[in-house]
Structure formats: C-alpha cells, structure tokens
Copies of this chain bind each other. A is one copy, B any other.
Amino acid sequence: MKEKGRPPYYEVIRDPLLRYMVRRLRLLWALEHAANLMSWDLETHMPREGIRDRSAALEEITALMHSIATSSWLREMIEAAQERLEELNDYEKGLVRVVAREVRIATALPEELVRREAKITAEATKVWEVARKRSDFNMFKPYLEQIVEIQREKAERLGYEDHPYDALLDLYEEGLRTRHVEEIFSKLVPATKKVLDEVRRRGFYPERHMLEDKEYDVDKAREMVRRLLGLLRFPLGERGRVDESAHPFTIDMGVYDVRITVRYEGRDFKRFVYSAVHEFGHALYELQQDPRLDQTPLVGGVSLGVHESQSRFWENIVGRGPWFMPELKRLADETIGLTRGVDLLELYRYVNTVRPDVIRVDADEVTYNLHIYLRFTLEKKLIEGSLRVDELPEAWNSLMEELLGVRPRNDAEGVLQDIHWSHGSIGYFPTYTLGNVIAAMIWRSLGGPDAEMLHRLDIPGLQEWLREKIHIWGKTYPPRTLVEKALGAPPTADALVEYLEWKYTRLPDKVEELLNPQR
C-alpha cells in the first residue's frame, strides 16, 4: 500500500486514522469512477446489444460498493473518529460526516430491499416507456404502486422526525426537510402567479417566437456548441468532452475528466444551446473542485440542489440574460446562421418566451417551479398515504389547471410525462426548485440587478467567484451550511422572487441598455 510520494489529500486530511480510511476507500472511489464511465458509455457509445452484459456488470459493481459501505471495519473507523470530532479540522469533520451518512444509508437499506427496488424499477422504466407512448396510466399503475410502497418502506427504515417524506428528500439533498420546501413554495407560488399575470398583461415576453420553427443543420449546431463551450472556457480535450445522447447529462470521472452530452433535435436552436449551457454549469462545479480532495469521499458536488443551482445559474441567469445576447448572436451567425438579420432584442425575446404549458421540461423560468410544486404536493401525499396511486391522474390534472390554467389532454401529457418515478426517485423533484432558489441567491450576492460581472459578461470572474465560494469545498460542508457560508443565509425564496420580479416586470423597460455588455 505504499504511495509514490504523499497523496494530495494529505494536505487537508491530517488525522492518521482518517488518512488510512481514505486510502482504503480509494477502492470505492475507483468503483464509482468505473461505474460512471460504464453509464456514460451506455448512453453515448455502447453498441446496442452491449446492454446485456453492461447491466450485469453494473449490478455486480454496485453490489460490491454497497458491501464496502456496510462493512464493519468502516463503521468502526467512523465511530472511532466521531468520538474525537472536536480535534478535527473542517475537511476531516466533513469526511466523517459524508462517510457516516453513506454508511448510515447503506446500512439502513438491506440488500434485499435494494435488489427488490432495482428489479421493480428496471421493469417499471420499460413499462413506463410503453405506457407513455400509449398514454395509458393503468398499465403503469401497478408498478407505481409497488414503487410508492418501497419508498414508504425506505422512509421507515431510514427514519425521520416529522414526516416520512423527509427521509426521501434527505437522500437527494442532505438536511432538506418537508417544512423547508413548504416554506419556499408558500412564498414562491403566489409570487410566481403575480409575475405570470404581469408578463401576460405586458406582452413583452412572448408565448411563442417564430425562431422556434427554424430548422438548423446539425453539423453546424455541433460547431456552435464547440464554440459556445470555448466561450465558456470548458476545457474540451484537456479535461472535458462533449458527446450526444437521448437525454443530456453531465458525468465525471474525477476532477480531471468531466463529460457533458447534448441532443440535437433539428429545430428551435435555443433548446440545444441552453441544454449545453446547463450541463456546462454542472460540469464547472466538478471541474473547479479543490484538487486536494480528488480520490477522496469529499470530492464532487455536495447535493443535487447545489448542483442544479450551478446549471441554472449559467443557463438562466448568465445565458438567458440580456448580457449574453451579443455573444449568442455572434456564435449563431457564424455557425447555424439563423440569427442573421435578427436584432439582439428579438433574440432576447426568443430565448425568454413564457408559456404556461403542461410539460415540465419545456417550461420557462417563470412557470417551472409551479411544475415542481405540483409534483412535491402529490409526492408528499403519496408517501404520507393521503393520496392513492389510482387517484393520481385526476389529482395531477386538477392541480395543473389550478396552478397553470392548462389541463393535460391525456396521461402522456400529464402524470406519465416524467421518467423519475419509474426510477424510484420520489423526493428528487424539489431539488430542481432548490437549485433555482440558490441560483437566484448567487445572483443577489453578485449584486442583483446591478451585478457588475453579469453586466460585463465577465466569464472568468464569475467562474472564479463560484470556485472560491462554492466549488472548491466539494462535500466539506453540508449543503445548507455551504449555502449559508457562501451566500449569507440558508435557502429561502426571497432572492428568487426578487429575481423573477426584476427580470419579468422591471427589466423590460431598460433591457436595451443591458443588451451590450459594458466591457
């Protein structure tokens, strides 16, 4: 077990026992590295029939990771470290917290339950695909019933103080509770409705734009994405890749290899542009980790909510801001060409359409969180047992109509639209809104309406700011603590409400002056 020189984490992990633990956990890190590459390949390059062996190989590796996380030596080490927490530095405390949490979750969920969930969700995902195509909720219903039961069982095994849904939320966002989410929505939902009314009254932000129908050449779109990533200083070839997949995603094999994917649909170019900027935001978070945390359990984004705040910040606040329009036009002019003769104001209106619609993934900044509120409300009821799965489609459609004024014409447009539940991911959706909340808090910390770095489109400056405040810490602090440390307060809806009111009700009057960055 000799090392060539001292590993970089020796600079931050000084406790001998914890150094030894990190060394032993390097296998777990390596297995995750391998599993991530296997998942990336599965979505991008794998020959079709390769799935037969890939699933089996991933299953073996996941089971091994689970057995390491539940091993007695690891539990004993963590218990020994917990006895003298006060002697440890912040990184070491973080290490103990992160590993203890993984051990606790892995230990609470017996292998039998994990296998049962893996089996039913694998089947459910296939059934969901067909059910959505046929718009037939009844096909999917028995699977969803089993999945809800399993999630309720997981909640009981994991434990919670107030609400069983807390236990599920915590799986995706350490420390997030139902009451936190309720508090956010209690302000955000009415404020959003007011902003939406104002948007419709003024008509500055259109519901549709004629550029949506323009077709682009996919090869030229690829070139546009390469240049866009260049503008954003994504280290293509050095520490990053961009590939294509059915659903865009970001995945990392450590801080030196972070990969994103995009999808080209052939029309409405803002879709691939903002999907690429979104994934770039995720990737930047991984790329800007402190390299001394590499190969330790502390490396990587701390939670889904904080991760989503990074992607949303770049996508919506930087990329859909007026300051981004000159660069966007230049890139599009030089590649796909559809923007020649379109002025910056028109381009800004095209990338900022606001349209209450039934489909979440097509939703704009204003309406997006209402979709999440709908899912949060229904999930909470399913888990506490106050709503039955067979009542779900009607509950979905009614709440959709109440919130957005539109009603799905069928299950495919309604309750069957998302893949998440078929994967067993209940408690996941709220992290999307949390991401928007934190992104707006970053905007406010940067100066809000007067944020200099945005007005100047100072990309290196923004990256350095995010690196120092957030990225560099990895998982050292729990997400709420990190947000408080970096942005001055735990997540609340205030900044997001302020941002939406500013952008959608006040900015239209002075957008012209912001369309050109002041460099």
Contacts and interface: CB of A to CB of B under 8 A. Distances in A.
A interface: dominant SS: helix
A34 interface: yes
B50 A257 contact: yes
A241 interface: yes
A53 B257 contact: yes
A61 B31 CA distance: 7
A56 B30 contact: yes
Nearest to A58: B30
Contact of A27 (B4, B29, B60): B60
Contact of A253 (B30, B53, B59): B53
Contacts of A51: 256
Contact of A38 (B2, B37, B59, B236): B37
Interface in A220-279: 235-241, 253-257, 259
Interface residues of A, number: 48
Contacts of A60: 26-27, 29-31
A85 interface: no
Copies of this protein in the assembly total: 2
A239 B63 CA distance: 26
B256 A50 contact: yes
A510 to B, nearest CB: 42
A52 interface: yes
Contacts of A45: 45, 241
A119 interface: yes
A266 to B, nearest CB: 21
B254 A52 contact: yes
Nearest to A56: B295
26 contacts: A2-B115, A4-B119, A27-B64, A29-B60, A30-B59, A30-B60, A33-B38, A33-B53, A34-B38, A34-B61, A37-B38, A45-B45, A46-B257, A47-B238, A47-B256, A47-B259, A49-B239, A50-B254, A50-B256, A51-B256, A52-B256, A52-B294, A53-B255, A53-B295, A57-B253, A57-B254
Given A37-B37, A52-B254, 18 more contacts: A2-B115, A4-B119, A27-B60, A29-B60, A30-B60, A33-B53, A33-B54, A34-B34, A34-B57, A37-B38, A37-B41, A41-B41, A47-B235, A47-B257, A50-B239, A51-B256, A52-B256, A53-B294
